[in-house]
Amino acid sequence: MKPLTSYTCKLTEPNAKALEAHLRAHDFEFRQVPYARFAGAKDNLNVVFYESGKLVLQGKGTQEFIEFVLEPEILKEARVGYEAVLNPELLVPRLGVDESGKGDFFGPLCIAGVYINEKVMKAWKDAGIRDSKNISSDKRIWELAELIQKTPGCVTSVVPVGNEAYNRLYTKMRSVNTLLAWGHARVIENLMGQKQRMNPPPVRAISDQFASKKETVAKALMSLGREIELVQSHKAEEDMAVAAASILARNEFVTRLGDLEKQYEMVFPKGASAAVDKAAKEFVARYGAENLGKVAKLHFRTALRAQGLPEPPKTEWRKSFPKKTAEK
């Protein structure tokens, strides 16, 4: 990967003062630049901080300055390349698990898992691996999925749950979270079955905490999955392993949804919306209500509306509080 030769970011007032003090203490040559509060140059680096609060770095020394000065000394935050020094935990070998299609009426539920190690992370450093929800282009999702699967040392597993299987499982489990827990556990088990390909072996598996109780997934783990520490957290997609898994899951979902569209010669909008309601009613009119379960998740209220069936009243969620004991 080529090192950065230009970089822009915003600085707070304390950051700006700290940076100016650093430049003066390290013999940067100061000069006047229009609309800049200060500007300095030294060796292969030009530093300009504008009145707007924008910092601009340019020159061959940009990457080194970011990694060894700006992030650890000024920002106290890893953004570009100093993550491993500030947080060595980011380089531990691990599994990441995520899903796609949970909130989509049409199409399957797809769960994916990815094993990464330090070499894989370094190979992806500038690739743009991030939570699939922040990538709007299906083409870009496909490109990144190809990169992930072809990266040496990376091990992956994808478990697609087609609509008919999804509806059978939901009828049996009666809970999306229970179904998701089963899917996450299945993916972890599949990955751990390939542990001989993982060097070094993973120390933990990370997934988003979609259920109120962390035990939901832990209880669903199978024999191999119980050999590894399970970490569940909100915003887990910020971890590179989970972000990579989210990309694989989304790519699988988009691909399979596209296959359904070709098979039924219809457009199936993503998510749940008025456009989805319209498409659902059109599908029922063309193919019959008995076939809706082949392309959609039947526990959504959209399925009832598409068939002209009454919807059950929505229950208002209220937090329950423990009853106070009477004072004696």
Mean pLDDT over residues 250-260, rounded? 98
Quote the mean pLDDT of the chain.
89
CB proximity list for 21: less than 8 A, separation 6 or greater: none
Q: Note the pLDDT of residue 315.
A: 67
Distance of CA 19 to the CA centre of its chain: 33
Query: Percent of the chain, pLDDT > 70?
Result: 90
Give the C-alpha separation, 273 to 266, whole Å.
Answer: 16
Contact of 199 with 117, CB cutoff 8 Å: yes
Measured from the Cβ of residue 193, the count of other Cβ atoms closer than 10 Å reads 13
Q: Note the pLDDT of residue 79.
A: 55
Mean pLDDT over residues 270-288, rounded? 97
CA atoms within 13 A on the CB side of 44: 11
Q: Is the pLDDT of residue 161 over 80?
A: yes
Contact of 266 with 282, CB cutoff 8 Å: yes
Cis omega before residue 200 (within 30°)? yes
User: Nearest Cα to 229, choosing from 218, 237, 240, 220?
Assistant: 218
Burial of residue 285 (CB within 10 Å: 0-12, 13-18, 19+) is: exposed
pLDDT higher at 153 or 63: 153
Identity at 184, one-letter amino acid code: H
Q: Is the pLDDT of residue 105 over 80?
A: yes
Q: Note the pLDDT of residue 194.
A: 96
User: Nearest Cα to 218, choosing from 236, 202, 231, 201?
Assistant: 231
Q: Note the pLDDT of residue 318.
A: 56
CATH code of domain 90-254 = 3.30.420.10
Distance of CA 150 to the CA centre of its chain: 19
Whether 6-86 and 90-254 share one fold: the answer is no
Pair of tokens at residue 150: 């072809």
Q: Does domain 6-86 have CATH number 3.40.50.360?
A: no
Torsion of CA 196, 198, 200, 206, to 10 degrees: -120
Q: Note the pLDDT of residue 85.
A: 45
CB proximity list for 197: less than 8 A, separation 6 or greater: 115, 155
Mean pLDDT over residues 111-116, rounded? 98
pLDDT band at 1 (very low <50, low <70, confident <90, very high): very low
Distance of CA 216 to the CA centre of its chain: 20
Q: Is the pLDDT of residue 328 over 50?
A: no
User: Nearest Cα to 277, choosing from 250, 259, 300?
Assistant: 300
Give the model confidence (pLDDT) of 171-217 as tens digits. 999 999 999 999 999 999 999 999 999 999 998 999 988 776 778 88
DSSP 106: B
Domain spans in the chain, listed from the N-terminal domain onward: 6-86, 90-254
Give the model confidence (pLDDT) of 46-88 as tens digits. 999 999 999 999 999 998 898 889 988 898 765 555 444 445 5
pLDDT band at 327 (very low <50, low <70, confident <90, very high): very low
Give the model confidence (pLDDT) of 293-324 as tens digits. 999 999 999 999 999 998 888 766 555 445 54
